[in-house]
Structure 1
């Protein structure tokens, strides 16, 4: 669980870093899954050009099929994820990550929205992400449900190997509202983190990431959570992504 001070920091600035969120065994388990999924993606094409460095356990094609029920049923989701890794890994995502996300989202209907590994190969300066806000990937009606992303490095990260740069909320009273001018360099906060730390980000937080200039892979696990299930745009039927219920607080 997050402390009151951590929840307050998140609300005021749009993010909070929790040191040593994962233990060494959990980091190793997520890294092992990421390596297997990344190898599968390399068999299909270039990780940067073809996949954009984003590897989704349920979306990379390593599974023969993803039943629709697994997108919204906790039991079906856990059964499907067990085909890839030991059950404790998916339980960690739903329960440990999920409890903290539910604190921040303040909702009994909070659910897992998406999960992905962000893998930047060695010497990949093009493996960068421009300034953006995650919430803007959703349509305007979908944005009524807040989202939280948990950027969790499985390797030590710094600006040299592709960490995120954060632009804290300029006005806590108006979270996610930024001046129209370009980002001011003076406000940027680089996330210098150790493997197993967790960066909780409000979906309205402006951020970007650098390329990987190092000689080693840089891997991050990032589950995302929504305040409630988000319906698909258009006809309003179905789900925009996942809507897997979380464990209790």
Structure 2
């Protein structure tokens, strides 16, 4: 799955890009099916809107059975991850670890001593007629990471599973302002660190509203300012968002001890990680 040069250029200049109709009908249906299974499970346990905040994480929502002898190995060992994740849907594994990962790799600074990792994955589902109660406030994804961890570049791949507009809960985006984008590129690890240190988003009076068809992917930098509207429609609005990192994102303690990111080291203990570090690609 190759992004065009225009896609990559827009990502570096504005902090996001949209790849329309990225998924096949079969892939889209696989994600929808899995999403519905997990949402139904959530509703058996609690309220999706008020208890879960519209967020459903496949591996921590209580649906799958974990290997009790290695309960957190799935966070960094791809074989364990595949074994646990396949309890829901095998097809989604390939979409996440290969197809979407290949798109993420094209906008992240991956070098010979680094590789792409799956950092996190979640379904974001807004119930019908939930209105502003399902609205997500303006934020940057990097806000939820300790400062030391932000040195590792990450990208969120927001996949629309339904047609989206401002009426049912789409993304509103503040692109990078042109002067900031021209100061430095984020296409290398050093440049990313420089950019992340000085970039401070300024709220726009006219944010970009993503009106896109199901199967399209919005790739967003971790420092991009964005939010999402509420759902006033009579149907669920579903999205799937895997996040990827250009190297292992260690815990805050480990990142501060090791200083600047260097050559990747193997993960031996999931407690050393901020979230997940599942290697992408391979079988």
TM-score category (smaller protein): over 0.9
TM-score normalised per structure 1: 0.94
Is residue 138 from structure 1 mapped to residue 145 from structure 2 by the alignment?
A: yes
Aligned to 1:226: 245
TM-score normalised per structure 2: 0.83
Aligned to 1:203: 222
Aligned to 2:3: 2
Question: Which of residues 69, 84, 104 in structure 2 aligns to 1:80?
Answer: 84
The C-alpha deviation readout for 1:185-204, integer Å capped at 9, x for no partner, is 22x00010100000000111
Determine the C-alpha separation between the residues in 2 that align with 1:179 and 1:115: 25
Aligned to 2:278: 244
Q: Highest CA radius of gyration, 1 or 2?
A: 2
3-state SS in 1 of match to 2:63: coil
Q: Rate the CA distance shift 1:55–1:179 in 2: closer, same or farther, 3 A.
A: closer
The C-alpha deviation readout for 1:57-106, integer Å capped at 9, x for no partner, is 00111123263221111121111111111x23111111111111111112
Question: Which of residues 78, 87, 92 in structure 2 aligns to 1:89?
Answer: 92
Matches within 5 A, 1:62-141: 62-65=63-66, 67-85=71-89, 87-107=90-110, 108-125=114-131, 126-141=133-148
Residues 30, 91 of structure 2: 8 Å contact kept: no
Determine the C-alpha separation between the residues in 1 that align with 2:109 and 2:36: 34
Matches within 5 A, 1:160-171: 160-170=167-177, 171=180
The C-alpha deviation readout for 1:122-156, integer Å capped at 9, x for no partner, is 00010011000001110001001011000101000
What 5-or-longer segments of structure 2 have no aligned partner? Answer: 185-194, 256-270
What 5-or-longer segments of structure 1 have no aligned partner? Answer: none
Determine the C-alpha separation between the residues in 2 that align with 1:208 and 1:31: 22
The count of residues paired between Structure 1 and Structure 2 equals 244
Aligned to 1:178: 200
Backbone CA RMSD of aligned residues = 1.5
Determine the C-alpha separation between the residues in 1 that align with 2:134 and 2:91: 31
3-state SS in 2 of match to 1:29: helix
3-state SS in 1 of match to 2:167: helix
3-state SS in 2 of match to 1:22: coil
Residues 166, 189 of structure 1: 8 Å contact kept: yes
Question: Which of residues 140, 156, 162 in structure 2 aligns to 1:155?
Answer: 162
The C-alpha deviation readout for 1:5-25, integer Å capped at 9, x for no partner, is 111110000000001110111
Determine the C-alpha separation between the residues in 1 that align with 2:72 and 2:115: 19
Matches within 5 A, 1:10-49: 10-49=11-50
Aligned to 1:55: 56
Determine the C-alpha separation between the residues in 2 that align with 1:128 and 1:232: 30
Residues 119, 244 of structure 2: 8 Å contact kept: yes
